[in-house]
């Protein structure tokens, strides 16, 4: 029997949106302007991004859903899948976003507050449309050493990150978007310990996020045992002049399968 090739690893630029602009901070704080979301989306699409992620980072704190006008603007310009997150707390919120052109929805605070929402979304829209975002940081209390945070990383939910990941998989999540709050915006590299802890205990794709500062960081998170299925980054693409295509060529040299 022939052995099937491993799935190609994905590179996903992240666009954190607040008040209509893309912003980026450090440890979820000290936000600074990065550009127009639609123009950046078009740029990354041309560079070879596999997908894009848009997070309306103020939506949960402001207790509203993601902005539908922005979703429509993005959908008109892109021919690659994109995910929308931020403030999605009901089936109705998800339906609005998906019906306006998004391919997937990302839920974090909504899932923690109402875990049954994960199953509801999976049953109605399909597992492939449901991304559960886990914002985690180091904490000595949970068994794994990582705790889940909500409301843009501002509230400790008191959940063990690994146990929560296992639960959302059982409930029908199609993917996990795993962000290290400790590494977010620091450019110190992805949190390998956190990522491996989640990947080793789950079987659905895990997107690693938080801390990418140089091209070689992508290699570390996407190569080897218990590696992530995709890497998400922001600052390196927004500010550092690194292109998605450059990252993929580097990964090819490291014998990591990617689409070019």
Q: Which candidate in 50, 56, 103, 135 is catalytic?
A: 135
135 belongs to the catalytic site: yes
- Surface-to-core class of residue 240, CB atoms within 10 Å of its CB (0-12 exposed, 13-18 middle, 19+ buried): middle
Give the closest residue to 258 by CA, choosing from 5, 54, 46.
5
Q: Which candidate in 16, 50, 103, 191 is catalytic?
A: 16
The beta-strand segments (E) located in 52-154 are 52-56, 82-85, 104-107, 130-138, 146-150
Q: How far is CA 140 from CA 50, 55, 147, 179, 189, in A?
A: 36, 28, 9, 18, 22
The beta-strand segments (E) located in the chain are 10-18, 21-26, 29-35, 52-56, 82-85, 104-107, 130-138, 146-150, 155-160, 175-180, 206-209, 230-233
Report CA dihedral (151, 154, 155, 161) to the nearest 10 degrees: 90
Task: Give φ, ψ of 199 to 5 degrees.
Answer: -60, -40
Q: Which residues are catalytic?
A: 16, 135
């Amino acid at each position: 029997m022939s052995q099937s090739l491993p799935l190609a690893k994905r590179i996903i630029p992240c666009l954190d949106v607040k008040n209509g602009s893309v912003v980026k901070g450090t440890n979820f704080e000290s936000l600074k302007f990065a550009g127009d979301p639609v123009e950046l989306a078009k740029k990354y699409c041309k560079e070879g991004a596999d997908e894009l992620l848009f997070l309306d980072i103020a939506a949960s704190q402001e207790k509203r859903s993601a902005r539908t006008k922005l979703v429509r603007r993005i959908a008109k310009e892109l021919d690659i899948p994109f995910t929308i997150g931020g403030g999605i707390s009901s089936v109705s919120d998800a339906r609005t976003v998906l019906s306006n052109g998004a391919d997937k929805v990302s839920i974090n605070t909504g899932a923690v507050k109402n875990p049954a929402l994960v199953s509801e979304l999976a049953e109605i829209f399909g597992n492939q449309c449901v991304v559960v975002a886990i914002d985690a940081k180091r904490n000595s209390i949970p068994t794994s050493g990582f705790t889940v945070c909500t409301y843009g990383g501002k509230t400790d939910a008191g959940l063990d990150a690994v146990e929560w990941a296992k639960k959302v998989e059982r409930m029908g999540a199609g993917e996990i978007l795993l962000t290290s709050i400790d590494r977010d915006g620091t450019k110190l590299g992805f949190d390998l310990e956190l990522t491996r802890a989640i990947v080793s205990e789950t079987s659905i794709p895990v997107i690693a996020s938080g801390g990418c500062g140089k091209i070689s960081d992508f290699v570390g998170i996407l190569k080897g045992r218990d590696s992530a299925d995709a890497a998400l980054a922001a600052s390196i693409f927004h500010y550092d002049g690194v292109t998605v295509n450059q990252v993929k060529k580097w990964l090819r040299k490291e014998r990591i399968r990617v689409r070019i």
